[in-house]
Amino acid sequence: MRDFTADEAASKLGVTKATLYAYTSRGLLQSHAVRGKPRERRYHPADLQRLLDRKEARRDPLSAAARSLDWGSPVLDSAITLIQNERVYYRGRDALKLAESMSLEQVAELLWGVPFEIQPIASRLARLPATDPVTRMQAALPLAAARDMESLNLHPAAVWRTGARILQLFTTIAAERRSASPAHESLQAAWAPKDQRAAQAIRTALVLCADHELNVSTFAARCAASAGASPYDVVSAALATLKGGKHGGATMRVTDLFAEASARGGRAAIANRLRLGERVPGFGHPLYPGGDPRAKVLLRFTRGDSLIRGLIKAGSELLHESPTLDFGLVAVARAFRLPEHAPLLLFALGRTVGWIAHALEQYASGNLIRPRARYTGIAPEAGSG
């Protein structure tokens, strides 16, 4: 969706242009200049919608609160990640630019606010029998927690160290080997030996997955942290949520779409999903009307792949939507012949850094997250008295 002119923005808000400019000067709205037209300003649709939601919240707080749980207005204060104007910012720094050179551990330093130090773990925890490495991560967390009494200490310094141990545990499970190297180097050595471009793609993917504001797994993490759960339990709650098919688990559905496209062509694969009345995975993100910028960065590594190009073209023509991060992760895995579970592993490993950052922020607030439910069941029985 394109940005609005001042006239269009004022009309959408139902105010005069003078009021629109007053909103901007007071910081309630942000505008940006138009190239070649220095006197003209444009307004992002998402910013206008947020202001409308705030006005609606004052008029009808109950309905506004209900909508806030479905891509609505912000419900928690956070200084970690900002999504604005088709960009993502970690602590005020452009995540897309950070992904050009930073490692996941360097992003952890930024989000956690301390130097990152690799922490020792028990190697046998990474060799648990399970059907897939993500399930091994889930199984390893309570066992590691039982051996890690420091994890019960929720002081920031202790949480940082516990977070580093969890990240090391997950890296060891994903790479199936112990390593003191940065996560992307460990994964590249296990998945695509000697391919330095693969290392670059893996590093970029991990950084872009590190955080994305208050997504469902992060909200689960914050709820657990608000109850005083340890970092292991916080990450366990978040990881279970991440595996859901509507969140990180969507990478498996995108993988299936790629397989169908390989057999019958991208256009036919997408058309078949539409014919069956199914939601086509990997396309369209509510927060990015102009396309998920994280996917755009990842797809630079796959420009020579005709199947990926065909799927993107078909998605544009048949869905009028652009690829999401899930699509980008699967595309990178295909381009470098990474293991089957690599897309979800990259998502989980990268997002662990964000979960710990949000846990730290929630611990510091001291607040218990406890929303109310609006009862819609049968009427209560009349009193006998």
Task: Return the active site residues.
Answer: 285, 326
Residue 70 has φ and ψ, to the nearest 5°, of -130, 70
Q: Identify any residues that bridge with 288 across adjacent strands, giving them in sequence order.
A: 285
Alpha carbons 364 and 156: distance in angstroms, whole number: 8
Smallest Cα–Cα separation from 356: which of 91, 32, 80, 27? 80
Task: State which H helix or E strand residue 93 sits in.
Answer: strand 93-94
Task: State which H helix or E strand residue 249 sits in.
Answer: none
The answer to whether the CB of 224 falls within 8 A of the CB of 233 is: yes
Q: At what angle do helices 183-191 and 196-209 cross, to 10 degrees?
A: 130
Alpha carbons 350 and 223: distance in angstroms, whole number: 20
Question: Position 247: which residue type?
Answer: H
Alpha carbons 68 and 105: distance in angstroms, whole number: 33
The answer to whether the CB of 254 falls within 8 A of the CB of 330 is: yes
The answer to whether the CB of 323 falls within 8 A of the CB of 283 is: yes
DSSP 21-84: HHHHHTTSS-EEEETTEEEEEEE-HHHHHHHHHHHHHHH-HHHHHHHHTTT-S--S--SSEEEE
